[in-house]
Structure 1
Amino acid sequence: MAEYLRPAFAIILPNLGGIAGGFITRKSIPNWYEHLNRPSWRPPNWAFGPVWTYLYSSMGYASYLVWRDGGGFDGEARLPLAVFGTQLALNWAWTPIFFGAKKLGLATIEVGALWGAILATIITFNPVNKTASYLLIPYLGWVSLASCLTFSIWKNNKDRRD
């Protein structure tokens, strides 16, 4: 495989789940999400697409750096990449839980698990490639905000029946 295709594939992969989640989200925003009691400090809806595109791309590139410098799945990168895969699966699962199933309490628990998995990814990436771990810090920051937002929406809409 041409060397430039490996990082390109690593960047595209996380974005595929984001694109799939976008279809779920797009349907729920006008019919459900816009009618929830949401905090005033939430980011505007238009910000989520560009932010997630940047974050998915940076996490994909970070995974490539760890794969490259850690000997792939047969080297020291095995555990960090497994942790990365776990956090990516948790990331992709949040949207169907929140926007698809409209399970606000479960989404709150899930995003907490995602936050922990991102932190574990940063920690396991660091010995293999420090730049890769640093690339994930904005992701952790955004998911920290998303965690607070998810909790706030759950708390302010607990009695709602959809």
Structure 2
Amino acid sequence: MTASLFPIFLLASVAAAATGVIFRPGAWYAGLRKPSFTPPNWAFPVAWTTIYLLSAIAATRVAPLPGAGMALALWSAQIALNTLWTPVFFGARQMALAMVVMATLLVTVAAMVLSFWSLDWRAGLLLLPYLAWLGVATALNWRVWRDNPDAVGR
């Protein structure tokens, strides 16, 4: 593992996380109907902090390996999509477009897990919590969008 790469992947993750500081859920989100499986508010920063750390570690493990180009392209794509979702959902309040971003993110992360796993199974293993959390996040995005048809953009 090339430890000198870790700060680069972590910095990209911090940039993605910064959108959560800029575009907070606030009163708009608090007023939406949410499904019973909605995690408690404290779980979101805990989950994302863990996911970002594990993802940066996984990318650091994979980056120096021969044939890592596609894996790193997928990592780059997922961090871009991850960064995009928060301003689309909480900033623009465009739940349908956020659903498209989320579904694309889910597929990208699934492909990334497979790509990382083929290069370093431990790196792939580190990404499984991300994939699991995205499953919940995708279902949550879907249900909030479906159950709050009048809340878009307001």
Going from structure 1 to structure 2, the CA distance change for 1:83 and 1:104 (only over 3 Å counts) comes to same
Letter in 1 for 2:145: W
Runs of at least 4 residues off by over 4 Å: none
Q: What runs of 5+ residues in structure 1 fail to find an aligned partner? A: 71-75
Confirm whether residue 84 of structure 1 aligns to residue 83 of structure 2: no
Aligned twin of 1:38:
34
The AA in structure 2 aligned to 1:47 is A
Are the aligned partners of 2:19 and 2:86 in contact in 1 as well (CA < 8 Å)? no
User: Are residue 123 (structure 1) and residue 114 (structure 2) matched?
Assistant: yes
Equivalent residue number for residue 73 of structure 1: none
Which residue is 2:48 aligned to? 52
Q: In the TM superposition, what whole-angstrom CA distance separates every residue of 1:6-42 from its partner, at most 9, and x where no partner exists?
A: 22332332122112332212xxx33210011111220
Deviations 1:112-145 (A, max 9, x none): 1110000110111122111111111110000000
The equivalent of 1:18 in structure 2 is: 17
Quick one: percent identity of the two aligned structures? 32
Give the number of equivalent residue pairs. 152
Which amino acid is 1:111 matched to?
M
Q: Of residues 87, 90, 114 in structure 1, which corresponds to 2:105? A: 114
Instruction: State the structure with more CA Rg.
Output: 1
